Every structure is written in C-alpha cells, then in structure tokens.
Amino acid sequence: MPVAVPARTFQDSELPEYVRALTRRLEDYLPPEQIERVVAAFRRGAEAHAGQTRVSGEPYITHPVAVAEILADLRLDAETMIAAILHDALEDTSYAREAMVAEFGASVTELVEGVTKLDKMHFASRQEAQAESFRKMLMAMARDLRVILIKLADRLHNMRTLTAKDPDSRRRIARETLEIYAPIAQRLGMSMFKSELQDLCFRALYPDRYRVIAERIRASHGNRREAMGRIEAALAARLAEEGIPARVVSRIKTPWSIYSKMRAEHKTLSGIMDVYGFRVITGSVAHCYQALGAAHGLYKPVDGRFRDFIAIPKANGYQSLHTVLFGPFNAPIEVQIRTGDMDAVAVHGVAAHWAYKTGAAPSGAQARAHEWIAGLADREAGTASPLELIENVKVDLFPDEVYLFTPRGAILALPRNATALDFAYAVHTDIGDHAVTARVDGRFAPLRTRLVSGQTLEIVTAPSAQPKPQWLEFVVSGRARTAIRNFLKHLQHEDAVEFGHRMLDRELVERAVSLDTIAPAALEAMLAEMRYKRLEELLADIALGNRIAGTVADRFKTLSGGAVRAPQAAQHERLTINGSERGVLSFGNCCHPLPGDAIFGYLSAGKGIVVHRVECPNAAELRKQSERLLEIDWDRSVHGDYRVELRIEVQNRPGVLATVAAAIAETGTNIENVEYSERDIATATLLFALEVRSRTHLADVMRRVRRAGVVSGVYRHPV
C-alpha cells in the first residue's frame, strides 16, 4: 500500500499556476483526497526532474503536467493522473521503482513502466529500438488500457511543442506519429486525438501545403458562414416540425482531412472545399432514423452515399448514420446523425465515460479495444521479430474497414482490401490453414478475391490443404500474415531437421561412424559447446547452410572413440530431392533449374541449399568453395511448378504478344511475367517468365510457340 501523503492542501499558493489550473479541472469530477495525491505526485516529480529542462528551455516538469492536463479533459481517474505526471521519472531520473511503489502503489508504477521506453538497452538500429519499445508497450496495453491513453497524451503534447526540435527530428517524430500513434488513436475511437495528431504531423512534414490549406479554410469559413447558417437553421426547423429532439452543429474539416481527400479522390482544393458538413445529435436510436428521414425529406440524398454505422458499428465502436445530400447552393451536404452517447464515443473512444466505469462493465468501445489488443498480444507471442510485429500492427491500423457476414449472420470487420483468405483466418486459424476456396454470396471465388462490405462468405476447407508461401503476397491482415509465417517457419524447421539428418548421415556413413556409438553425455557436451540445446537444432543448421555436414561428422567421429561400423552405402551417394522440401531448398534465379536438368547444390548460410544447373553461368565461381557443394539429383517422383525463362524472337507487328501468349496458354502453363528486352523496326525479343513442371513440359511449350507464325526463335534463358 502507498504511504500517506503530507497533509497539504492543493490550493497552496506556492504551487505553480499550471498545476493549480490542473487541480481546477480535477475538482469537477475527483474528490479532494484524490486530488491531493495528484499534487503529491507533482511535488515528487518536480523534485526528481529538478534541474532538467526541455529543448525549449522550460522546466521539464511542465511536460508531464501538460500530459496530465490533456488526460484530465477526458476525466480519467487519479491513478492515471499520477502516472502521467511521473511517466518519465523512472526513465530519466534517479527516482527508484521501489520508492514509487511505496509512495503511489503498484498499479501506478505498472502504468509508468508500460509507458517507459527501452533506452537503457542496446539495439542494432533506431528502428529496432522503436519496435522493441512498441512491443513492450503493447504488452502493457494488454494488461491495462490506460497505458496507451498516457502514451497518446504524451505524444500529443510532444507534437504540440515539436517546433523546438531540429528539422530532421521533427520529420522523424511526425512520420512515426502519422504511421503508428494517429492510427492507434483512430483504432481506439479517439477522433479528437487522431485529428489533432494528423494535423500536427501534416504541419511538420509539409509546412507549405499545410499553410495554404489552413489559410483557405479560414477564408472559406468566413465566406460560407451565412450559407452554413441557413442550412443549419433549415435542418433544425425540419427536425422540430417532425417532433424530433435534436441539436445541429456545423463541422469544419481539418487541413489533413482535406489534403487526404484531395489525394484519394484526385480533386483540386476548390473541389474539396465545396462541401458543407453537419452533425445532428439526438436523444435515442429511434430518433436517429427519424432524423435521417427528415433530412432526406428536406434535401434529396445522393445515391450510394448512405452508411449505417449504428446497425453495423466500426471496429473501434464508432456508431453513426452518414448521408450525403444535394444542397441548396450547388454543393453536397455531409450529415452525420448520432445519439449523445454515440457522439461521446466518437470523440473520445475508449476514454468516453471512463471516470464512471469503475467496477462496471466496459463500454462497447472499451470492449472492442480490449479484444483488438488481446489479438495483438496473441500475435506477438508468435512473432519472432519486433520489426515484423510493428509491420503487422501497421497493416491492422487501416482507417477503413470492410464488413462481412458469415453464413450464420455474424459480422466480421477486416482491413480495406482484405481477401477471402483474410476472412478465413479471421474466423479461425485452422480454417485459414486448410482453406482451398471460398463461396462469396453463393458463388465460388479464389482465396485471393478482394472483398467489399456486405458480402456473405463461406470458406471451403480440405484436411490436406496447408499454407503456401505465395499466400503472403496477397493477404493484408496482420492475423493472417502471422499465422502463415508461423506455419511456414515450423514447416521449414521440420524440413530442415529431416534434410540435415540425411546430409549428416551420408557423411557419417562415409566415415564408418554411427550416432549410436557416441555416448549421450559426450553428445550433450558437444552440443552445449556448439551452443545447441537439442540435436534437432544442429541438424536444422546443417540443412540451412550454417554448419558444414562434413565438419560436424569429423567431430562426431572423434567422439565415437574409434568405434566404427561397416559402410552401409557407397561413397559420394547423391541426395535426392522431389521439390517438396521448399522449406530448405531454393532454386537459383541465375539458371532456373528444372526436373530433368543435371544439378548440384550449394550451401548458402542462412538460406539452405540453393539448387543450380550444372551449366549455370555461376557454376565455376561456386565450385571454388568445394566444402559448400552438395551432390544432389532429382527423385523419380517430383512435385510442384518451377520458374523458367524463355527468350522468344518475334516479328515486330501488332498482336504478336497476344499470339505468343495464346500459344503458351494452350499448354496450360502459367505466365508470371513478360517484357520486351530488345525491339527495332522489324524484330523484337520477348522475355517470358513461366511456371512449368519439368524439362518435358518446357519442351512442349517451346514446340507450341515455334508453331506460331510470328516466331523466329525460342531459347531457354539463360542458355
């Protein structure tokens, strides 16, 4: 339990004015004893930060007090206020964690630790440090949502005072805020934070563009005041006639929202400015729909511009009716209709009504936020790299969502541009892992199909189906990407262990040694010396090219103590591959080997075995490192498709590309890419990248292409 604070009143005249201003805000909703604890936190923070100043020259303690003031506007609890004032104390001062726990409690201390960065640790780059700090904050958010509220308020005040920084720092901080913190504020439904953060970032990154748009807003607002007043009065009068209790307010777009709309809709500034925005606040959900009818009766609605976010809320809990009307001044009117509670959630998101939620069930926005953060925490557990985690989170922070239905009528919200496969993983990881196709509104569609709001999906699965590396090329949700990567990593490890065992066993047979002859204690000692916990890790590293099988076999022979066995296989026996070992095998882009080609393997550290054709242009250079060469051959049964390139010389005339592509398509071959490599008046050279099954399949393709009347030569590339 925290110790009792000194019996001193928070109206002390010795307190700075900015602290007294904070206490006046707190008096609106906190009891005096809790406000005194906040003042005690200020005194402790001021003492800890004594002598420290900001870049602007102000005493450093003014920053954490300003952060607390931002949170006081959200009417957050006393613990959050105290943690905000002390949020830099553990990181930047000698104030000890134990002392903070003793004075202000474990809960406050955990909040402070959740916001604290990892500056005391060493990282390879600034990006890695930021990513690891974000991972730490994410874990703290999962335990207590107030961590992110303090962090957002901290970032907001830093952005408000960003002009004190040098230009490079301003741009770096603004870019990070625009990519991470503003989208998080939106994802949590905190539109006021989001809008101000975006505008401050816009001003820091593009000061001239910001100035032009801001000046245009000021001038336009003055010129349009009379027109907006007339529309507002007309809406209010119609609602009153219908007996609908409502309040109508006009909305002014922010510079960032105007700039974003200009880019998204490819419009000029004048085209975007010619829009009137209004918000109607009513007393109930029924009144919202009645107000919608009244607005449509006053001005005609624009077809296709109505959205019902009350029946289908956004992922962050936002609820409202959106409609666009034909206005009286030849300009569209954007109208949002919602209840007072919906408006509070739209503005403050998870922080709405926070002070009154103690011991009660969380609001809809808070429940959705907890669900989202819990999902991120689960994803973090399966993500090895903090940089990978932060990229996945960025994907999840798209400002727009698509809303989809399961066959039973449940609604799922997915990021913009989500595919049927993203939907499958949103339902359940097992559904995604075994997905083969989808039914979209009753019709079969590929897993890569992009989805639009309102569609109903059913995923068709098969027990034998499993994730493929190509899936990563079209999924967009962080959940799907993490699940696919985890499966492929597990598959790669299993393949690597199996293939590494084959490689090591071949070398041991040549040395007439068996693992059975090595004492377990000696084997464990050697693995420990090589920093492996299990033999499987060593075998995987052999297959991935991080260890040479021959060198490891020599060490095993030493451990065997001279015990040998009779050779069981001929020396220099080739390893065979069937194409299913994609976790540890890759195929050289320099020569594109196919089943049927004479091949050899090259052990590339970290990549595993890279397969090359014997006549590869780089073969001579690779053979200089003989210890990394591997004698391999194709198995009798080979699976999968293999990339190959064809150089096709053609007559340069209209339609030639379509003619050649049609000839290739007749063989059932997939065309990955095509480009012109050379071109003159009479002739041209086309480079086709294809997927074929074998040399025999390729020969069939080349015969079909030669029969096309426009082709003068077909060659495998490189020859």
| pLDDT (tens digit per residue) in 267-305 | 888 777 667 789 999 999 999 999 999 999 999 998 888
Residues 236 and 323 in one domain: yes
d(CA 13, CA 435): 69
Co-location of 199 and 213 in the same domain:
no
Could you tell me if residue 383 is inside a domain?
Answer: no
| Contact present, 653 and 697 (Cβ < 8 Å) | no
The CATH number of the domain holding residue 270 is: 3.30.460.10
Q: What pLDDT does residue 552 have? A: 87
pLDDT (0 to 100) of residue 7: 38
* Domain presence at residue 495: no
Q: How confident is the model at residue 10 (pLDDT cuts 50, 70, 90)?
A: very low
Work out how many domains the chain is built from and give that number. 4
The region that residue 569 occupies, defined by phi over 0 for left and psi between -120 and 50 for alpha, beta otherwise, is beta
Judgement on whether residues 113 and 249 belong to the same structural domain of the protein: no
pLDDT of res. 120: 42
Backbone angles phi, psi at 575, to 5 degrees: -80, 140
Average pLDDT (384-399) is 55
pLDDT at 243: 93
Confidence class of residue 139 from pLDDT cuts 50, 70 and 90?
A: low
Report the sign of the C-alpha dihedral through residues 609, 612, 614, 619, in that order: negative
- Whether residue 322 sits in one domain with residue 218: yes
First to last CA, the chain: 78
623 three-state secondary structure: coil
Q: What is the pTM of this model?
A: 0.60
pLDDT, tens digit (0-9, with 9 covering 90-100), for 452-479: 877 889 999 988 788 887 788 889 888 8
Last residue of a domain, one of 324, 352, 380: 352
Of 92, 242, 388, 401, the catalytic one is 92
Q: Are residues 119 and 63 in the same domain?
A: yes
| pLDDT average, residue stretch 641-653 | 90
Mean pLDDT of all residues in the chain? Answer: 83
Examine the domain organization and report whether 262 and 310 are in the same domain. yes
So what's the pLDDT on residue 317?
Answer: 78
Neighbours of 395 (CB within 10 A): 16
- The answer as to whether 531 is a domain residue is no
Q: How confident is the model at residue 159 (pLDDT cuts 50, 70, 90)?
A: very high
Q: Give domain status of residue 476, yes or no.
A: no
Q: List b or e across 299-309, with b for residues whose CB sees 16 or more CB atoms inside 10 angstroms.
A: bebeeeeebeb
Q: What is the 3-state secondary structure (H, E, C) of 226-241?
A: HHHHHHHHHHHHHHHH
Looking at the structure, do residues 590 and 658 belong to the same domain, yes or no? no
pLDDT of 397 > 80? The answer is no
Angle at 390 between CA 389 and CA 392, to 5 degrees: 65
The answer on pLDDT for 400 being more than 70 is no
Q: Which domain holds residue 593?
A: 574-636
Position 2 scores a pLDDT of: 38
Rounded CA gap, 488 and 482, in Å? Answer: 10
* pLDDT surpasses 90 at 503: no
For 246-260, what is the mean pLDDT? 88
- What is the pLDDT confidence band of residue 571, given thresholds at 50, 70 and 90? very low
Give the pLDDT confidence of 149-158 residue by residue, as tens digits.
Answer: 898 999 999 9
Please tell me which residue in 28, 36, 73, 91 is annotated as part of the active site.
91
Are residue 667 and residue 685 in the same domain, yes or no? yes
- 92 catalytic per annotation: yes
Q: Which of 352, 373, 389 is the last residue in one of the domains? A: 352
The number of helix segments (H) and strand segments (E) in the chain equals 28, 20
458 noted as active-site residue: no
Residue 46: inside a domain, yes or no? yes
Question: Which of 333, 352, 371 is the last residue before a domain boundary?
Answer: 352
d(CA 398, CA 477): 10
- Residue among 93, 94, 80, 91 at smallest CA distance from 29: 80
For residue 484, what is the enclosing H or E element?
A: helix 478-510
CATH assignment of the domain containing 178: 1.10.3210.10
Q: In percent, how much of the chain has pLDDT > 90?
A: 35
Would you say residue 45 lies in a domain?
Answer: yes
Residue 200: band (very low, low, confident or very high) from pLDDT cuts 50, 70, 90? very high
Q: What is the pLDDT of residues 650-679, one digit of tens each?
A: 998 888 988 999 999 888 888 888 888 888
Concatenate the DSSP letters of all residues of 180-241 into one string: IIHHHHHHTT-HHHHHHHHHHHHHHH-HHHHHHHHHHHHHHHHHHHHHHHHHHHHHHHHHHH
State whether 595 and 690 are in the same domain.
no
Q: What is the pLDDT of residues 335-370, one digit of tens each?
A: 999 999 899 888 887 777 664 444 455 556 666 666
Distance between CA 220 and CA 210 in Å, rounded? Answer: 15
Which of 544, 556, 427 is closest to 495 using CA atoms? 544
Q: Would 428 be classed as within a structural domain?
A: no
Instruction: Give the C-alpha separation, 281 to 109, whole Å.
Output: 40
For the cut 80, the answer to whether the pLDDT of residue 562 exceeds it is no
DSSP H or E stretch at residue 531: none
In this structure, is residue 312 part of a structural domain? yes
CATH number at residue 683: 3.30.70.260
Q: Which residue has the tokens 């025999």?
A: 696
Highest mean pLDDT: which of 161-165, 195-199, 520-524?
195-199
d(CA 690, CA 701): 10
Q: Are residues 191 and 222 in the same domain?
A: no
Same domain? 648 vs 622? no
Q: Is the link from the previous residue into 207 a cis peptide, with omega within 30 of 0?
A: no
152 and 234 both lie in a single domain: no
